Structure 1
Amino acid sequence: MPTTSEHEVQWTEMHLPISVGSACLLLRQCQPTTAAAMAQVVVAPAMGVPQSYYQAFARWLAEQGYGVTTFDYRGHGLSLQGRLKDAKADLLDWAKDCEQVAAQLKKQFSNQALIWIGHSVGSQLPGLASTPLPINGLLSIASGSGYWRDNAAPTKRVIRIFWWGIAPLATWLYGAFPGRKLGMVGDLPAGVIWQWRRWCLHPRYAMGVEGEWVADAYAAAHYPLHALYVEDDEMMSLASVQSLVGWYQSAPSTLEHLNPARAPSGHIGHLGYFRPEMAEQLWRPLLPLLQSWGAGDRSPGKPLYEPKESPF
């Protein structure tokens, strides 16, 4: 298995046009320079999290021999053109962004496998594609249904104040959701936060609001799914992660529990998986799965993290 320093890497940026005026997505790509990439990996961000948050993870994967692309959804992060309040985007638009990123990677690296690593909403959106993404596998990290009654306990205690008070009031006042000012979620276009609110208030999440075509779209995906439930995730409960796995009903799937004791600090949470200090304990165990999917294996893979031995 390659060591961390085996491959030199190079960063580039790309502007990917989308079908809305002159708007585009900003993609950052990190490729190994000492040999051809073993496969291409897309890292799709969580709600309100900029692609810069995943740069250490992307660089590390590239050092292991994988080409990696990160991006921001339209109207967010480096893909925002103009004022946030003027951004026209909703979650279905973000799903189209995922389709365009995957299509670009398949065009750019036509002879290489493509693997999708989704963080939170980054694992929900691929299933909404008009046709299944051309990927060899989906690794889902800290993702599940956002239905508020299935939120993990820390979020569930405050989510009613958020959805019935803070979110609608702030969005109405600012014309968008000013998450950075409020210290929650992140800046979001109005169309995104309003649609996300509707989804989160419905027991069937997106398919309960948008219609049965959503269930059909998820069911059409046959690529393997490996879902990680982070046991100390303050947002996603086990029930919410199980819901997501159920949506991808045709996908060979594995749902694995990730014990926070594996982290150096003993804590992972909803965002912690991608912090640089997780490289040896959490990132390195991914490599056999990525290698398997890159070689064309269609199975969801064996558990990545052996259970910690009990001290008793």
Structure 2
Amino acid sequence: MESSEFLARGDDQLALHPFPVDGAATLAVLWPAMGVPARYYRHFAAALNATGIEVVVADLRGTGASTPRPSRASRYGLAELTTDVEAVLDALKPRRAGRRCVLVGHSLGGQVCALHLAARHAAGLDPGVDGLALLAVGLPYWRRYPGRMGPGTLALTSTLALTSSVLGVWPGWGFGGRQARGVIREWAFTARTGRYPSLAGVDVEAALAGVRLPVLAVDMEADQYTPAPTVDHLTAKMTAATVERSHYSAAEAGSPIDHFTWARHGTPLAARVATWAAAL
């Protein structure tokens, strides 16, 4: 990983990790899953580099090299994570100039990328990017999980929301890393209701339906947190987008994979993303 760059966001500081490629026609801005540091994606970023795509991986607020760590004083939620996407894209304007730019998101990172596009549409603004790749990204609506996974998901998300409300922060006990209570509260809301809350006064549910952009949505084999029906639940909200749905198998990866480990066995997937991006 190259040396990190930092972007001030009020009292917070976002870390950006560039993986440059000389003469790259495409820039991919990659957003991680909840609690997963940017360094976890270095193998996948290198695989994208090998296809000729330049990459910048952004640490989510309070994760990895982004500071400070979430605490009882943290007041942010999904709305602030969404505006972080806008701020990073603005900071990367010199790198974006004259080339194709795509957002690539994993899990929560993919959700905030989609919400960023919804907010842009609601404001009557151009999306500012050429495409969105959702890798293991779905809405964790408990009714979209098979069998006992549904009630288990509802119980897990409700427990995290209650605990973070009582403690003032989610300490990261066994799941998701340390998180601001607002992030956990709104994430649990999506799991309970199957929809997003209004964010900063914006009806993002309605706005998602107006997003007109090519979207690549890939579910992963043996994904314990984002099975295929949850991916479909999210992409179904983007009725105006051109959505290409895909599946990444262990056979293609050459190794058993799940919600996280695909990123360490993602060379074939990187080639698929590159092919999709080149056609935008």
| TM-score grouping bracket, smaller chain normalisation | 0.7 to 0.9
For residues 87 and 202 of structure 1, what CA distance do their matches in structure 2 show? 25
Q: Which amino acid aligns with 1:278?
A: G
Question: What does 1:41-120 correspond to in 2, within 5 Å?
Answer: 41-81=28-68, 84-120=71-107
2:177: which partner in 1? Answer: 186
Q: Are the equivalent residues in 2 in contact too, given 1:177–1:188 (CA < 8 A)?
A: yes
1:225: which partner in 2? Answer: 215
For residues 50 and 75 of structure 1, what CA distance do their matches in structure 2 show? 10
Relative contact order (alpha carbons < 8 A, sep ≥ 6): 1 or 2 greater? 2
Matched, 1:176 2:169: yes
Question: What does 1:17-28 correspond to in 2, within 5 Å?
Answer: 17-18=8-9, 20=10, 22-28=11-17
2:124: which partner in 1? Answer: none
Q: Which amino acid aligns with 2:2?
A: W
For residues 79 and 278 of structure 1, what CA distance do their matches in structure 2 show? 25
TM-score, structure 2 as length reference = 0.87
Q: CA-to-partner distance for each residue in 1:253-305, whole Å, 9 max, x for gaps?
A: 1111333332323x221112201x432x433333322322xxxx3xxxxxxxx
Gaps of 5+ in 1: 1-9, 298-312
How far does residue 102 in structure 1 lie from its aligned partner after superposition?
A: 1.9
2:240: which partner in 1? Answer: 250
How far does residue 212 in structure 1 lie from its aligned partner after superposition?
A: 7.5
Q: Are the equivalent residues in 2 in contact too, given 1:199–1:208 (CA < 8 A)?
A: no
RMSD value, Cα: 2.5
Q: How many residues align?
A: 273
**Pair member with larger Rg:** 1
The 3 A distance-change label for structure 1 pair 282 and 126 is closer
Q: CA-to-partner distance for each residue in 1:30-76, whole Å, 9 max, x for gaps?
A: 102xx312211111111221111112211332243222111122233
The 3 A distance-change label for structure 1 pair 170 and 254 is same
Q: Are the equivalent residues in 1 in contact too, given 2:102–2:130 (CA < 8 A)?
A: yes
Q: Are the equivalent residues in 1 in contact too, given 2:51–2:270 (CA < 8 A)?
A: no
Using the aligned pairs only, state the percent identity: 26
Question: What does 1:100-179 correspond to in 2, within 5 Å?
Answer: 100-129=87-116, 130-132=119-121, 133-153=127-147, 155-156=149-150, 158-165=152-159, 167-172=160-165, 174-179=167-172
The 3 A distance-change label for structure 1 pair 257 and 154 is farther
2:254: which partner in 1? Answer: 264
